[in-house]
Amino acid sequence: MSGCLLETHARVRPIVPTATVQITAPQPPVATVQVQVAQPQLAAGVTVVQTSCQQGAQEVCNGLDDNCNGQIDEGCGYSSGNIQITLAWATGADMDLYVTDPAGETLSYQHRQVASGGTLDQDARGQCNRNQANNTIENVYWNTPTPPPGNYRVVVHYWGECNSGAGPTQVTLSIAVGGQIIGAYNYVLAPEQRADVANFTI
């Protein structure tokens, strides 16, 4: 019988006035669009870096989003955007980052801008230069209002050891889309190896 009473009450619904409110939450200055992106597909041997970021942490120029704001290495002199892909390593090697966009155009140190809006703004150790800033980081980004949809392919080439005796070298690759880190990965390359480390589709 109590069930009948409950049903009676449940049918009385007060009319609540509604209003549309825009809430402005603190956000990073870029990369806040909503996008669907599948988990990246990874080459055999690629390992996932477990998330270790902490809000408010000091951002270090290491290819990782240390402070969990969806931007990789902000403040290090290279850019974030609706897509950011950052490669970092910690030896005297020269690694090269290649990112092919959905139109099939490839960003690299040899081709720093693509028609879809992507830019490579941090190249490292060209000519084995040891004197540039952040000479173990390469970075590409798209700052278009929305990330161009389609498939992105991320390739890393171990160009050379630069007389450093670096040998097999681990790289860290972080990928951010729409202001969120979609993955951070480690992979070890041998000198002169070229590897399709990851690809993802927006």
Residue window 122-161: x/- pattern of binding to Ca ion, with contact defined by CB under 5 A: --x-------------------------------------
Residue window 39-78: x/- pattern of binding to Ca ion, with contact defined by CB under 5 A: --------------------xx-x-xxxx-x-x-x-----
27: Cβ contacts below 8 Å, ≥ 6 apart: 179
Per DSSP, 127 falls in state: G
Distance CA 39, CA 16 (A): 41
Joined tokens for residue 90: 């910690």
193: Cβ contacts below 8 Å, ≥ 6 apart: 157, 158
For Ca ion, which stretch binds (CB under 5 A), given 2-10, 26-34, 93-101, 172-180? 93-101
Nearer to Ca ion, 33 or 60 (CB): 60
| Least CB distance to Ca ion at residue 163 (A) | 15
Distance CA 200, CA 182 (A): 9
Nearer to Ca ion, 41 or 110 (CB): 110
| Least CB distance to Ca ion at residue 198 (A) | 18
Question: Contacts with Ca ion: how many residues (CB under 5 A)?
Answer: 13
Q: How far apart, in Å, do the first and last CA atoms of the chain sit?
A: 55
**Which residue is listed with tokens 């870029």?**
30
| Cβ atoms within 10 Å of 158's Cβ, excluding its own | 22
| Least CB distance to Ca ion at residue 76 (A) | 7
For Ca ion, which stretch binds (CB under 5 A), given 3-11, 28-36, 87-95, 174-182? 87-95
Distance CA 10, CA 13 (A): 7
Nearer to Ca ion, 73 or 101 (CB): 73
Binding site for Ca ion (CB under 5 A): 59-60, 62, 64-67, 69, 71, 73, 94, 96, 124
